Amino acid sequence: MKSVDDVREAGGADRERAGAVAGAVPAGKHAGGRRPGETRTREAILDAARACFAERGFDATSMRRIAEAAEVDQSLVHHFYGTKENLFLQALEVPLKMPQALAAAAEGGREGVGERMVRAHLALWDDLSTRPALMTMVRSASVHRVAAARLRETATTILADALGNVVTGEDAVLRSNLIATQLIGLAMMRYIAVLEPLAAADTDTVVRYYGPALQAIVEG
């Protein structure tokens, strides 16, 4: 898969494809046709889509750009995923790691849970296997209904569930919301708006300062 950055204004400099020996496709005949051997194109397209959506959001990402990033014909994207909407949906699928990691962080009692949550959250965003989906979700949440719904769902189902044993008492759900609020804010500023010095700060420092802020809400 090509890097998303490479694609930009590409145009047409990359007509020869890997494995297509020069002359293998006789001039005048159709270049189409299934590639020999087993294939991983479907996954490549999804990866490319995730990367593109993560980097520019739903609207600014065209099917053509995704195809280019996956080094594949545009129709193939439609062939596998149908509509752009549906592809986006797939790209949005949050890895199972996420609820697990957050639930694990919530275990171990009330004490220090703020710091553990911040650390787990940062870990998910720094993990290359989870980051694109999260980035896609947050980046498009402001303009795409489905992404916004996914964000809400994540905030309630996943987070509130994980925190069920920890955030108790008056207005427990509201307070869970506020914790989600803090974590999403952190993602926005550190990874999307890239606010300095926050974006460059190392994990431990962020955990040290931000943890107590979450803790304040846990305590009520």
Partner DNA sequence: CGCTGAGTTCATCATGTGATGACTTAATGC
Partner DNA sequence: GCATTAAGTCATCACATGATGAACTCAGCG
Interface residue list for its own copies (CB under 8 A): 56-57, 59-60, 138-143, 148, 151-152, 155-156, 171, 173-175, 177-178, 180-186, 188-190, 192-198, 201, 205-206, 209-210, 212-217, 220
Residue 147 C-beta-side C-alpha neighbours within 13 Å: 23
Residue 178: CB minimum distance to its own copies, A: 6
Cβ proximity of 31 and 25 under 8 Å: yes
Q: Is 26 helix (H, G, I), strand (E, B) or coil?
A: coil
Which does residue 140 touch among DNA, its own copies, none (CB within 5 to 8 A, set by kind)? its own copies
Residue 72 makes CB contacts below 8 A (sequence gap 6+) with 41, 44, 45
Residue 135 C-beta: closest distance to DNA, Å: 18
Q: What is the separation, in whole angstroms, between the first and last Cα of the chain? A: 48
- How many residues in total does the chain contain? 220
Query: Is 41 near DNA (CB under 7 A)?
Result: yes
Residue 103's binding partner among its own copies, DNA, none (Cβ under 5 to 8 angstroms by kind) is none
Tokens at residue 193, please? Answer: 């708006």
Is 145 a binder of DNA (CB under 7 A)? no
72 binds DNA (CB under 7 A): yes
Decide whether 83 or 165 has the Cβ nearer to DNA: 83
| Tokens linked to 95 | 């890895």
